[in-house]
Amino acid sequence: VLDCRTAARRVFCAAFNASDTHLADQTFDLVVIGAGAAGMMCAATAGQRGRRVLLLDHATKLAEKIRISGGGRCNFTNLKVSADNYLCRNPHFVRSALSRYTPRDFIGLVERHGIRYHERSWGQLFCDDSAQEIIDLLRAECDDGQVSWNTPVTIQAVEATGETAPDAIRFVITTDAGHYSARSLVIATGGLSIPKIGATPFGYRIAEQFGLTVVAPRPALVPLTLPPETLARLAPLAGISFEVQARCGRGEFREAALITHRGLSGPSILQVSSYWQAQAYEDGDWEAVGLNLLPDVDAESWLLSHAGERALLGNLLAEHLPRRFAHAWCELHGWQRPLNSFRHAELRQVAATLADWRLAPSGTQGYAKAEVTLGGVDTQALSSKTMEARKQPGLYFIGEVMDVTGHLGGYNFQWAWASGHAAGEHA
Ligand code: FDA
């Protein structure tokens, strides 16, 4: 948990010159800072309820994260969304918003806009053509709600007026394009992943400014790095991918793992990375990730049925694993020998290692490669129905800036839509 006592009263951000000043010094019902997935959904929802809404963002290009998502096709939701798909210190928090704005609701919007889409494995829905269509959809929905925009703009300070009545001016937002005042303020500035397209800790600083706790952020859905001794054997195999059952803490996922020049990636590894902590236990061991390399095989019976044969263990394993990986894995363990040189007890040990190969990552590839940020504004301080801060009426946090992190597979966008909609219905 970050120390909120050190938070500055004012928040200064990286500079971009705002060009659009005609809205300056105006009053809005609602100002939304951050025109990404959650911010646009919230602005459109509130605007279509007749609220006077202003969207502010410091980026020169709109919703870059949507544009690069899902390999350019945006995995915009998942057919099977439940609270179990999210990590949050307060695990029930997500239920209310997710049940009031469901994947079906967003699919309805996608269909109304004539966007063609398809389902991939595990209920994941992607655009047939381009993620840009989702950005255009949100932009059109904002236009329907007559939302005003000012981007790029630098937010210099946010201050509360001290008024608390619902219809009073409760916030003044100072930007390089002038001041805006608002009855409600929504913070939708996302997490820290991919700083080069505009991620900043702005939302965390605002939370601290208003006395809210921030759960320490860390990269998630991120490739893991391996220590040099393991990497020396595996890095030459970079690009090889195969299905595993990966485990770490409470997280367990059956999907592909990919060997990279720096360690491991692929969907199963990204998924367990959200459960992995870069911490050593008291006995000095680092937290490990466990991989079942043969999830469909009873490895012990299979190996024992081949005991006594002259083939190399690596050649037998190559029946179920990529050949080069099978041999490298045997060399890593000193097992590159004929099967007839293994005692039964040794084969049982090989089987146990195949079923639970423990790898202690040396770290992650960090925010530059992370799809999302774990941690964020502590949900204990927010209403699960409206996303409003209990301590500061009129102040809302939505999307990834909050301590809500979805699994890989469209769950993070579904949270952006659901939390944005919840705040937009209320603010
Ligand atoms: P988001 O990051 O979308 O928007 C935040 C906005 O705030 C940005 O426009 C930013 O410019 C603005 N901002 C930040 N700091 C500011 C400041 N100081 N002043 C003003 N503005 C500021 N999820 C999923 O469900 N399916 C998928 O396919 C993918 N794919 C994917 C690929 C990659 C490469 C990444 C990095 C991420 C994904 N995700 C994903 C995750 C998903 O993109 C993410 O969870 C949502 O975009 C979060 O939406 P938000 O609106 O909360 O933040």
> Using 50, 70 and 90 to split pLDDT, how confident is the model at 5?
very low
Cβ burial 353-382 (10 Å sphere, 16+ → b, else e): bbbebebebbbbbebebbbbbbbbbbbebb
Residue nearest to atom 53 of ligand 1 (CA): 190
Higher pLDDT, 277 or 70: 70
Q: What count of Cα atoms within 13 Å lies in the side-chain half-sphere of residue 396?
A: 33
Query: Cα–Cα distances in Å, from 386 out to 29, 205, 349?
Result: 16, 21, 53
Residue nearest to atom 49 of ligand 1 (CA): 37
Cβ proximity of 263 and 224 under 8 Å: yes
**pLDDT above 70 as % of the chain:** 92
- Section 196-217 average pLDDT: 96
Point out the ligand 1 atom lying closest to the alpha carbon of residue 412.
Answer: 25
Distance 190 CA to ligand 1 centre (A): 5
**pLDDT above 90 as % of the chain:** 88
Q: At CA 87, angle to CA 86 and CA 93, rounded to 5?
A: 75
Q: At CA 215, angle to CA 212 and CA 217, rounded to 5?
A: 125
In which element (H, E) is residue 270 found? Answer: helix 267-273
The pair of structure tokens assigned to 30 is: 């609602």
Residue nearest to atom 45 of ligand 1 (CA): 412
In which element (H, E) is residue 418 found? Answer: helix 411-426
pLDDT value of position 280: 53
Distance 283 CA to ligand 1 centre (A): 38
pLDDT value of position 277: 86
pLDDT value of position 166: 82
Spell out which residues line ligand 1, taking CB within 6 angstroms.
13, 33-39, 57-59, 63, 65, 68-70, 74-75, 155, 188-190, 193-194, 198, 200, 202, 371-372, 399-401, 410-413, 416
If you average pLDDT over every residue of the chain, what do you get?
Answer: 92
Nearest residue to 420 via CA among 145, 34, 90, 116: 34
What is the Cα–Cα distance from 280 to 248, expressed in whole angstroms? 14
Distance 247 CA to ligand 1 centre (A): 27
Rounded to the nearest 5 percent, the helix, strand and coil shares of the chain are: 35, 25, 40
pLDDT value of position 283: 56
With H, G, I as helix, E, B as strand and everything else as coil, classify residue 237: helix
- Section 345-360 average pLDDT: 97
Distance 424 CA to ligand 1 centre (A): 18
Q: What is the pLDDT of residues 118-161, one digit of tens each?
A: 999 899 999 999 999 999 999 999 999 999 999 999 999 999 99
Q: What is the pLDDT of residues 6-49, one digit of tens each?
A: 232 223 222 223 344 566 678 999 999 999 999 999 999 999 99
Please give, one letter per residue, the 3-state secondary structure of 85-126. Answer: HEECCCCCCCHHHHHHCCHHHHHHHHHHCCCCEEECHHHEEE
Q: What is the DSSP code (8-state) at residue 285? A: P
Point out the ligand 1 atom lying closest to the alpha carbon of residue 193.
Answer: 36
Point out the ligand 1 atom lying closest to the alpha carbon of residue 420.
Answer: 51
Residue 330 identity: C
pLDDT value of position 104: 98
What is the strand order of the sheet 124-127 is part of? 75-78, 124-127, 117-119
What is the Cα–Cα distance from 321 to 315, expressed in whole angstroms? 10
What is the Cα–Cα distance from 102 to 110, expressed in whole angstroms? 13
pLDDT reading at 427 higher than 60? yes
Point out the ligand 1 atom lying closest to the alpha carbon of residue 64.
Answer: 9
- Section 88-101 average pLDDT: 97
Distance 385 CA to ligand 1 centre (A): 22
With H, G, I as helix, E, B as strand and everything else as coil, classify residue 278: coil
Residue nearest to atom 24 of ligand 1 (CA): 410
> Using 50, 70 and 90 to split pLDDT, how confident is the model at 287?
confident
- Section 218-226 average pLDDT: 97
Distance 4 CA to ligand 1 centre (A): 24
> Using 50, 70 and 90 to split pLDDT, how confident is the model at 279?
low
Q: What is the pLDDT of residues 297-334, one digit of tens each?
A: 999 999 999 999 999 999 999 999 999 999 999 999 99
